[in-house]
């Protein structure tokens, strides 16, 4: 069984849309003797890479037109939701000091609403206003040093975080802040939304068999060039080493993984991960190494994997069971790794 790693080892800090978004490797399994010719489209976006694999390209679709369309889709998402572009919709909202309504696109409103829904569902374990806390710990855009902030500084920043301070309006699509200093950062959900936009475009173009991925968030439909459902490897959380922990089937669903073992720093023998708990302002320290979620959309899988990672092995698993979330947990122990799958996840496991 051949493996192809389609996710880069390193995500560049300075140029990306997403920072808190999980970014474990995507490993897809393709047979050595392909039954169909595989079309692969790749490029750079959101500070990482995208990949679109099509195992059955419609005869009336021009590959280069499709590539250009995908680039335009991703550029639009960046123009709407990037916090690294001063002219983006989110940057304009974040720069607003008053409680005035800021008109945004329907797409941005849809992502903000979903982020707020996940925030409420998880009692704030996922929070789209976490940006100032990410900056404080040195994981934000343009950060040059990382360090452990004082409890006083963390307490001050926590006053500027709270998803309940974001207001939405449907007509016209607009958002407002009920407290000065509130910022929205969609880095934990926007890449998943980008995958969903690509998937919708492909389906409108008549593509029935594809696997679309941005930075580890992916969505698949139909069959691979082998003639069976897409198979995706969940990476064992070993840092620099690349090993598969489990393999899942993906047909008509989306998948995202969140982990604590790649973006981190160490001080006095203690590791501090970029997975931050918006409720107390601290990096997670509960021993959970990664969470993989399978959901109807990549946007949902993206946000839920981060939220469950913050909640930890017990509270996260309880929420997954209660809400029928397909989730797979890998925890660190003194003797290696332990794993646990929610009942909804078990049916996707191959090996």
Looking at residue 230, what is its pLDDT?
95
**pLDDT of 348 above 80:** yes
Q: What is the dihedral of CA 350, 347, 116, 287, to 10 degrees?
A: -60
CB neighbour burial string for 189-201, b if at least 16 within 10 angstroms, e if fewer: bbbbbbbbbbbeb
Q: Is residue 157 part of a domain?
A: yes
Provide the domain count of the chain: 1
- Residues 6+ positions from 198 with CB-CB distance below 8 Å: 50, 52, 70, 73, 74, 212, 214, 219
Q: State the average pLDDT over residues 177-204.
A: 96
CATH of the domain at 155: 1.10.3980.10
**pLDDT of 129 above 50:** yes
CB atoms within 10 A of CB 262: 18
Looking at residue 30, what is its pLDDT?
44
Q: Is residue 192 part of a domain?
A: no
Q: Over the stretch 271-291, which tens digit does the pLDDT of each residue have?
A: 767 789 999 998 888 889 899
For residue 98, give its domain range.
Answer: 88-177
Looking at residue 273, what is its pLDDT?
74
Looking at residue 269, what is its pLDDT?
62
Geometric angle at alpha carbon 330, from 128 and 4, rounded to 5°: 90
Looking at residue 36, what is its pLDDT?
58
Q: Is residue 271 part of a domain?
A: no
Looking at residue 141, what is its pLDDT?
64
**pLDDT of 8 above 90:** no
Looking at residue 22, what is its pLDDT?
33
Q: Is residue 137 part of a domain?
A: yes
Burial class (CB in 10 A: 0-12, 13-18, 19+), 334: exposed
The whole-chain average pLDDT of the chain stands at: 86
Lowest-confidence range among 92-101, 142-151, 304-313? 142-151
In a 3-state reduction of DSSP, which class is residue 250? strand
Q: Is residue 201 part of a domain?
A: no
Model confidence at 221, pLDDT cuts 50, 70, 90, reads very high
Looking at residue 138, what is its pLDDT?
77
Q: Over the stretch 162-174, which tens digit does the pLDDT of each residue have?
A: 999 999 999 999 9
**pLDDT of 325 above 50:** yes
Model confidence at 156, pLDDT cuts 50, 70, 90, reads very high
Looking at residue 286, what is its pLDDT?
85
Q: Over the stretch 39-85, which tens digit does the pLDDT of each residue have?
A: 999 999 998 999 999 998 999 999 999 999 999 999 999 999 998 89
Q: Is residue 347 part of a domain?
A: no
Model confidence at 9, pLDDT cuts 50, 70, 90, reads very low
Q: What is the pTM of this model?
A: 0.87
Return phi, psi of residue 270, to 5°.
-110, 130
Q: Over the stretch 28-45, which tens digit does the pLDDT of each residue have?
A: 444 433 445 899 999 999
Looking at residue 50, what is its pLDDT?
97
Q: Is residue 325 part of a domain?
A: no
Q: Is residue 166 part of a domain?
A: yes
**pLDDT of 262 above 90:** no
């Amino acid at each position: 069984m051949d493996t192809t790693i389609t996710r880069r080892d390193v995500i560049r800090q300075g140029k990306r849309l997403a920072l808190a978004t999980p970014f474990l490797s995507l490993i897809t399994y393709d047979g050595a003797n392909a039954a169909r010719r595989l079309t692969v489209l790749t490029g750079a976006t959101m500070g990482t890479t995208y990949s679109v694999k099509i195992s059955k390209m419609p005869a009336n679709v021009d590959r280069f037109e499709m590539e250009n369309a995908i680039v335009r889709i991703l550029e639009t998402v960046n123009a709407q939701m990037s916090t690294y572009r001063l002219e983006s919709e989110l940057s304009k909202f974040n720069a607003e000091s008053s409680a005035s309504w800021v008109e945004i696109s329907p797409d941005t409103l849809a992502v903000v609403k979903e982020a707020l829904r996940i925030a409420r569902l998880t009692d704030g374990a996922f929070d789209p206003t976490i940006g100032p806390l990410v900056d404080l710990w040195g994981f934000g855009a343009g950060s040059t040093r990382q360090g452990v902030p004082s409890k006083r500084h963390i307490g001050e920043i926590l006053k500027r975080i709270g998803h309940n301070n974001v207001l939405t309006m449907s007509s016209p699509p607009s958002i407002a802040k009920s407290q000065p200093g509130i910022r929205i950062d969609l880095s934990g959900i926007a890449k998943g939304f980008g995958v969903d936009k690509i998937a919708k475009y492909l389906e409108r173009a008549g593509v029935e068999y594809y696997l679309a991925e941005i930075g580890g968030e992916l969505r698949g439909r139909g069959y691979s060039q082998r003639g069976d459902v897409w198979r995706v490897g969940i990476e064992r959380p070993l840092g620099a080493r690349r090993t598969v922990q489990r393999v899942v089937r993906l047909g008509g669903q989306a998948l995202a993984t969140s982990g604590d073992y790649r973006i981190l720093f160490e001080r006095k023998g203690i590791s501090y991960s970029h997975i931050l708990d918006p409720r107390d302002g601290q990096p997670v320290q509960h021993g959970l190494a990664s969470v993989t979620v399978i959901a109807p959309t990549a946007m949902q899988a993206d946000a839920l994997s981060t939220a469950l990672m913050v909640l930890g092995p017990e509270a996260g698993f309880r929420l997954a069971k209660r809400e029928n979330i397909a989730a797979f947990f890998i925890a660190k122990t003194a003797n290696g790794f332990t794993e646990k799958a929610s009942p909804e996840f078990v049916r996707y496991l191959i090996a």
